[in-house]
């Protein structure tokens, strides 16, 4: 009888222990699942406005200035600005994207976004937008290259694999175009980017303006020494100058943008004094194609500049 009692006691203790283990395991499973679900749905990122919490899987994105980069990563925004939607390089990809004007608050609110990415850095704009949805502010020139922008936006959107795949394709195409030019250009030939805007004149470096990234950063065309020193090496993306000093910055080739009513007098003696003009080595840029500075636009500009120069060399033969 004693043996039976002891056996039953041991059995009860074992059953209680198993029950507690099962409960603990179940509690652990519930807690782990809850934690995993939380981690899977949101994440925290650092921004110029501090740390904010954003969705890990963005479903209703609204953008200002970063539409093409979102598209190449496979994320189609529900809304974008009028300026973004006018980008000639992405016209085959913008069906069903709502026009938010110039980031009109009412339009954005109606779209019920779960994330907003904007280049507008003013505090008033941020305050209004952040009340609608988590808002990531990326001011113009936050990214200084295609590679930086693609990786930066990919990290925000959780699309790193897609970003790296696109950059691999980008690098291959740039290398291909660079190789084509190496066959026809003298490596010592120099290239300038000039701008006539209204009544003012500008020089451009290797930044976001007038094809600078495509010409200098990607195709690695050589800038005149003073543009190299005054803009590229200092990180300045543009510089306003007087018309009279343009010859001092003129390379063997000139890319010229005329915008906002500006029209350079092509019969002016100072203009005609430049070797690039004498040799018919001036390329007039289409503003619609060379003002955009997103990764898709830069790739298109790489190809267009390559074709311009190849055509020029072909006609010289």
Task: Please list the rounded mean pLDDT of every run of 10 residues in the chain (317 residues).
Answer: 50 50 50 51 91 93 96 97 96 96 88 95 92 95 95 97 98 98 96 95 96 97 97 96 96 95 86 95 96 97 97 86
Task: Mention every residue, 6+ apart, whose C-beta is less than 8 A from residue 55.
Answer: 41, 42, 43, 114, 115, 134
Starting from the edge strand earliest in sequence, which strands make up the sheet with 79-80, in order? Answer: 98-99, 79-80, 61-63, 115-118, 135-137
Beta bridge partners of 254: 192, 282
Give 46-160's CATH code, choosing from 3.40.50.300, 3.40.50.1980, 2.30.30.40, 3.40.50.720: 3.40.50.1980
Q: How far is Cα 156 from Cα 45, in angstroms, rounded to an integer?
A: 8
For residue 261, the model assigns a pLDDT of 87
Q: How far is Cα 26 from Cα 9, in angstroms, rounded to an integer?
A: 26
For residue 8, the model assigns a pLDDT of 47
User: In whole angstroms, how far apart are CA 89 and each of 84, 92, 151, 181, 298?
Assistant: 10, 8, 20, 23, 10
Task: Fold for 173-316, please state it.
Answer: Rossmann fold (3.40.50)
Q: Are 231 and 217 in contact (CB under 8 A)?
A: no
How many helices (DSSP H) and strands (DSSP E) are in the chain? Answer: 13, 12
Every domain of the chain and the residues it spans: 46-160, 173-316
For residue 38, the model assigns a pLDDT of 46
Q: Are 133 and 80 in contact (CB under 8 A)?
A: no
For residue 17, the model assigns a pLDDT of 53
Written as six digits, the tokens of 227 are 């543009």
Q: Specify the pairing of strand 50-55 against strand 98-99.
A: unpaired
Q: Measuring CA to CA, which residue among 315, 228, 303, 226 is closest to residue 279?
A: 315
Fold identical between 46-160 and 173-316? yes
For residue 315, the model assigns a pLDDT of 85
Q: What angle do CA 22, 23, 27 make, to 5 degrees?
A: 120
For residue 79, the model assigns a pLDDT of 96
């Amino acid at each position: 009888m004693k043996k039976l009692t002891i056996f039953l006691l041991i059995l009860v203790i074992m059953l209680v222990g198993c029950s507690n283990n099962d409960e603990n395991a179940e509690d652990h499973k519930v807690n782990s699942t809850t934690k995993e679900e939380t981690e899977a749905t949101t994440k925290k990122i650092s921004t110029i406005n501090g740390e904010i919490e954003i969705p890990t899987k963005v479903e209703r994105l609204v953008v200002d200035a970063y539409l093409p980069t979102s598209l190449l990563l496979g994320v189609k925004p529900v809304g974008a600005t009028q300026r973004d939607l006018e980008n000639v390089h992405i016209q085959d990809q913008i069906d069903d994207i709502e026009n938010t004007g110039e980031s009109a608050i009412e339009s954005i609110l109606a779209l019920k976004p779960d994330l907003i990415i904007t280049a507008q850095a003013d505090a008033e704009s941020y305050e209004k937008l952040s009340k609608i949805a988590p808002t990531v502010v990326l001011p113009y020139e936050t990214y200084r290259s295609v590679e930086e922008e693609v990786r930066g936006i990919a990290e925000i959107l959780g699309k790193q694999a897609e970003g790296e795949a696109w950059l691999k394709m980008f690098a291959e195409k740039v290398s291909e175009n660079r190789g084509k030019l190496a066959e026809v250009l003298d490596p010592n030939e120099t290239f300038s980017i000039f701008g006539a805007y209204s009544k003012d004149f500008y020089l451009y470096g290797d930044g976001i303006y007038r094809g600078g990234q495509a010409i200098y950063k990607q195709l690695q065309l050589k800038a005149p020494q003073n543009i190299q020193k005054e803009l590229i090496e200092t990180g300045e993306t543009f510089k306003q100058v007087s018309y009279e000093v343009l010859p001092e910055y003129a390379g063997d080739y000139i890319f010229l943008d005329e915008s906002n009513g500006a029209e350079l007098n092509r019969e002016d003696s100072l203009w005609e004094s430049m070797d690039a003009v004498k040799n018919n080595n001036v390329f007039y840029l289409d503003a619609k194609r060379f003002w955009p500075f997103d990764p898709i636009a830069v790739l298109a500009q790489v190809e267009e500049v390559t074709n311009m120069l190849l055509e020029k060399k072909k006609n010289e033969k």
